[in-house]
Structure 1
Amino acid sequence: MTRALRACLAAVATLALLVGCAAPGASDPVTPSTGIADDRPLAELDLYPDPRTVEGPSTAVVADAEITPIADDPVQTLPATVVSHDPGGDREVRVTDTSRVLALDLAGSLAATVWGLGLGDSLVGRDMSTTFPGTEDLPVVTSGAHAVNAESVLALRPTLVLTDGTIGPRDVLEQLRASGVTVVFLANEPSFDGAAQLARDVAAALGVGELGERLADRITAEVDDTIAQIAQIAPASDDAKLRVMFLYLRGGSGIYYLFGEESGASRLITALGARDLASELGWSGEVPMTDEAMIAADPDLILVMTDGLASAGGVDGLLAAKPAIGLTTAGEHRRFVDMADGVVLSFGPRSAAVLDALARSLYAAP
């Protein structure tokens, strides 16, 4: 994912109720309406006879946004020497003090991982995308453009900053190092395997390597189990599968991008038992949306971020601004599923919960 675009990706999002629809007839289009989130297993839900006929937008919400730590009182082994993947090249970094930690990235994945390892009490601040329960009172050290404010960071007296390079500017992070703060750049691939590896890497930097393996195993097991559950409710044949695209929106800035391979969206869509049209069309990374591309793809359903959709004026505003979207099957059915900006692509300890919530919006009638 390009740095310029990733600088727009995460924003504080407000959770809404999961919406769906009443039980449909066998062939009639159905329309989602406001309802209460259903905590039954996916296989026990009232499923749409054909998810391609559903009409109207819905919001996917993680039923339980809390992150359960893998351990309550972790025992750390410090100092720890790790490889920092700096923008200028790899370097070894020695971590000696993790008493005051800042974990900063666009999606909030790093802070979520620190919390999942049982070291949430060490966090002294947060980025804008770290919104899970327990972090509400932490001071925010990134601006609306997801830039780190050096003065705000130094005021918190951090002993360790963990980042993946998706926020900056770079000279601020170098300024922190020059002031004596230990800074470690971690690789953060937007995927389920990447989430497991991030657990290992964060754990290594915090001196709890064994807990990193345990958290990675838990993430993998939960994701695999959820994908297996989704496979039981999603159409099996390619012809019957939902044809989905992920559209990134910042309406006020006139930004409309289609997310393809390497963005994380394709892994999310295929895990949901749907067809990722961007990958099928050979698009990699982020591609500016064109009318021709959207009409040619003709998705059944469009995934969007909640704040992104709001920035475009909701479904009505988006269809008015981009009439070509209205010519697709998704546009004609107004079939948009939105999810909080700081959640939908935040691969980490909540990956399975994100999949579960999206599956409910795609396939189930509450």
Structure 2
Amino acid sequence: MTRRPSAGGIGMFTGLSTAMFGALVAWTVSAQQPAPAHPQADVLSIGGSVTEIIVALGQQHRLIARDTTSTFPPDVQSLPDVGYMRALSPEGVLSVGPALILSTEGAGPPEALDVIRAADVTFVEIPEAYSAEGILHKIAVVGDALGVPERADGLASEVGAKLEAAQAQADVAPEDRKRVLFVLSTEGGKINASGRGTAADAIIRMAGGVNAVTEFDGYRQLTDEAVGLAAPDVILMMKRSGDHAAENGDLFAMPAIRLTPAAETRSVVRMDGLLMLGFGPRTADAVIALQQALYGQSG
């Protein structure tokens, strides 16, 4: 079982150097390391797409633990979970006893990564890029880190061919492209949506759509007026539950949404978040699924 850090975590050791703290954490948790499910298990994967690549390379037996975002294939969920990739603790990460950590770019917080890197663990950061080329590069980096570059070459060829075919199918004439608004959440009655430079922005464009919001980078809360001006034909969301979920009736009744073209046709597409935004080996499937949801089978 993964040991969770107490509140205060790093702060209680502020008098120690990063290297000293890393050594102390490694020593403290060494006795708590779980027995690996496979004798060759030595890899901690941080990031859902990184985990998918490891599995696609035939290296699932190397996995000793994963982070919360690593949910596919479903059987990886039986592995110890070290927490959310952007809120890691050195104690939780090192408690599973990895010899190699493969982490997607953007994990953190930075001070936690400093301590983890100071421990006697090889840490490889996998670059994140929301493009076909970026996916193939991720596969190559993971393959090199695991010592299976030939398998990575084969997987990259297979994934690259699927991506090329998917984007050819999603080649929609400019005048026919639908305006798509990706809504991250509606918590508190506010629309948090994607602008430029996000995974959502990239998948919309790869599937032959137009991102309805291009005035800013990243994710931002929109005013009702801004949503109206965006005039989306379709609302795109992740399949989720709890506070971040919004049933269709509630979604289209929101003042920001109800006067949009999407509300008039009640057009909403919901997809698995990791499939849609992970930019890993299954992205071609995501492109095809979104293209078909937007335009129908004929493309």
C-alpha contact 2:199 2:278 (8 A) present in aligned 1: no
Residues 130-145 of structure 1 mapped to structure 2, 5 A cutoff: 130-133=70-73, 134-143=75-84
Is 1:267–2:202 an aligned residue pair? yes
2:179 to 210, 227, 243: 243
User: If the length of structure 2 is used for normalisation, what is the TM-score?
Assistant: 0.77
Matching of residues 85-124 of structure 1 within 5 Å? 99-105=41-47, 108-124=48-64
Instruction: Confirm or deny: 8 A CA contact 1:309 1:315 kept in the other structure.
Output: no
- Displacement of 1:301 in angstroms is 0.3
The residue number in structure 2 matching 1:37 is none
Are the aligned partners of 2:180 and 2:209 in contact in 1 as well (CA < 8 Å)?
Answer: yes
More RCO (CA 8 Å, sep 6+): 1
Q: 1:142 and 1:227 mapped to 2: Cα distance?
A: 34
Matched with 2:109 is: 169
Instruction: Indicate the residue corresponding to 2:118 in structure 1.
Output: 178
- Give 1:341's aligned residue: 273
Distance 2:169 2:243 in 1: 31
Amino acid at match of 2:202: R
More helix by share: 2
After superposition, give the CA deviation of every residue in 1:40-72 in whole Å (9 maximum; x if it has no partner): xxxxxxxxxxxxxxxxxxxxxxxxxxxxxxxxx
The one-letter code of the counterpart of 1:316 is G
SS in 2 for 1:136: helix
Pairs within 5 Å for 1:1-366? 99-105=41-47, 108-133=48-73, 134-143=75-84, 146-231=86-171, 234=172, 236=173, 238-249=174-185, 251=187, 256-279=191-214, 282-307=215-240, 311-320=244-253, 322-364=254-296
User: Does the aligned pair in 2 maintain the 1:299–1:329 contact within 8 Å?
Assistant: yes
Distance in 2, matches of 1:266 and 1:187, equals: 18
Taking structure 1 as the reference length, what is the TM-score of the superposition?
Answer: 0.64
Change (3 A) 1:309 1:229: farther
Q: % of aligned pairs identical? A: 34
Structure 1: gaps (5+ residues): 1-97
Q: CA deviation at 1:130?
A: 1.4
Q: Is the 8 A contact 1:100 1:124 kept in 2?
A: yes
What RMSD in Å do the two structures reach over aligned CA positions?
A: 2.4
Against the structure 1 CA distance between its residues 310 and 363, is the aligned structure 2 distance closer, same or farther, given a 3 Å change threshold? farther
For residue 186 of structure 1, what is the amino acid of its counterpart? Answer: I
Pairs aligned (count): 257
Q: Which AA in structure 2 matches 1:246? A: F
Provide the rounded CA distance (Å) in 2 between the counterparts of 1:296 and 1:334. Answer: 18
1:253-288 CA distance string (max 9 Å, x none): x66332122102222112212222224xx4333232
Q: Could you list the per-position Cα deviations for residues 185-215 of structure 1 after superposition, in whole angstroms to 9, with x for gaps in the alignment? A: 2211122221111111111222222332322
SS at match of 1:325: coil
> Taking structure 1 as reference, are residues 309 and 225 closer, same or farther at Cα in structure 2, changes over 3 Å only?
farther
Runs of 4+ in 1 over 4 A off after TM superposition: none
Does the CA-based 8 Å contact 1:173-1:183 persist in structure 2? no
Against the structure 1 CA distance between its residues 128 and 192, is the aligned structure 2 distance closer, same or farther, given a 3 Å change threshold?
same
